[in-house]
Amino acid sequence: MGCEAEEEAVKRVELPEPNAVWRKLRRAQTARTKESTDELHGTLPHSEAARRFWSRRTWSELAAVPAVSQVVLALVREGAGLGSIGAYTTIAQDEVRHADLSLALANALGGYDEEIPDGLEYSPRSLAAPSDVPVAVWALANGCFSETVSLALIQARHAATKQPTVRAVLSETLKDEALHVRVAWQVAGEVLPKLTPRERKELSAYSNELAEMIRRTFGTSGLSPKLRASENRLRDETAKAGLGARSASEENVIVNDALDEISERLRVHGLR
């Protein structure tokens, strides 16, 4: 089969129809929204580190909104069914709620920072730029990488956080992210094995770039030394105050372990 014919075959790939997962997402969402916003009415101590940490969490969740929306657009472009489209629009809505909860926490802890400092790569606006990138690429970047690493970090933060309001936000987010990860790998399992060898090679190279990007955004290990020191301090102090972070060194280990797990799972789908 020539290149063009191969590409045509990939475009026609039937995407999965995760209807059951979509229905579950919708039921869970209605029940939990009220519960979580009620929880936020507790009083929180003011903490410079924690308000800045939760501002970063807000930027990260906000960046997920356009990233997931790009998956929705790519699914429509590639002729996916309503089950897949619905699963991803519901995920986008969850990410809006996560951003909103993180913003409320940042405000309660002393004030949300609107300005993303130079050198930090949270980029909600640039992720919203029009794109003709295929669903396989967006699903890999957003689903396999971001969602999986995000879930691992939130699980670890939740396990170590006792403060009730912060714990409620982490618990709310955790339940959603676990479902997002399931949807993401389900889509990956359908899409990735059907790629052409050339596409697979390109996607493998891209996944190495993604891993580095994740180390600089979810973790701090890829940042410049000065920025890394200040971002580490912020996590360490938030962890010490019990307000939702783990120490920087613990978080970097969690990120690396999650990246190892992702590359193992991708290998199963033919990406190395």
**How buried is residue 169: exposed, middle or buried, by Cβ count under 10 Å (0-12/13-18/19+)?**
buried
Which range in 24-32, 115-123, 145-153, 159-167 contacts Fe ion by CB under 5 A?
145-153
Give how far Cα 219 sits from Cα of 10, 56, 100, 142, 249, Å. Answer: 34, 12, 22, 16, 9
Site string for Fe ion, 27-66 (x = CB under 5 A): ----------------------------------x-----
Answer yes or no: are the C-beta atoms of 255 and 219 closer than 8 Å: yes
Query: What count of other Cβ atoms lies within 10 Å of the Cβ of residue 2?
Result: 7
Residue 63 or 234 having the CB closest to Fe ion = 63
Site string for Fe ion, 148-177 (x = CB under 5 A): -----------------------------x
Check binding of 180 to Fe ion (CB under 5 A): yes
Here the tokens at position 101 are: 């909860």
Q: Total binding residues for Fe ion by CB under 5 A?
A: 6
Strand, helix or coil at 223? coil
CB of 61 to Fe ion, least distance (A): 5
Helix, strand and coil in the chain, % to nearest 5? 75, 0, 25
Which has the closest alpha carbon to 98: 157, 184, 23, 168?
Answer: 168
Residue 95 or 237 having the CB closest to Fe ion = 95
CB of 43 to Fe ion, least distance (A): 25
Check binding of 182 to Fe ion (CB under 5 A): no
Site string for Fe ion, 82-121 (x = CB under 5 A): -------------x--x-----------------------
Residues lying near Fe ion in the complex (CB under 5 A): 61, 95, 98, 147, 177, 180
